[in-house]
Amino acid sequence: MILIYARSFLNFFEHRTCQRAQWEIRSLAEKMLELVRVVAPNLFSESGPTCLTQGVCRQGKYSCGRMKTLEGK
């Protein structure tokens, strides 16, 4: 059962820590991510928006532009 919740959290963090997410939800998601990283660092250490964790932006033409910044590094 815990793995089901972890998978849901990972999906939630991918979408809701994205710069394109509504700021209130993004702020909450970032705080939640900080908390779960303390409790389960092995599961959530690599969690976050896909541009940071997978090097892929799924927002298409609505991208925030972070990927261009990351590619330039």
The sign of the CA dihedral 68, 57, 3, 28 is positive
Blockwise average pLDDT, block size 10, the chain, 73 residues: 79 93 96 95 93 85 73 59
Catalytic, out of 7, 16, 20, 37: 16
Q: What is the pLDDT of residue 65?
A: 77
Domain count of the fold of the chain: 1
Long-range contacts of 57-65 (CB under 8 A, 24+ apart): 59/18, 59/20, 62/20, 63/20, 64/18, 64/19, 64/20
Task: Flag whether the pTM goes above 0.85.
Answer: no
3-state secondary structure 13-58: HHHHCCCCCCHHHHHHHHHHHHHHHHHCHHHHCCCCCHHHHCCCCC
Asked if 26 is an active-site residue, the reply is: no
The domain of 24 spans 2-71
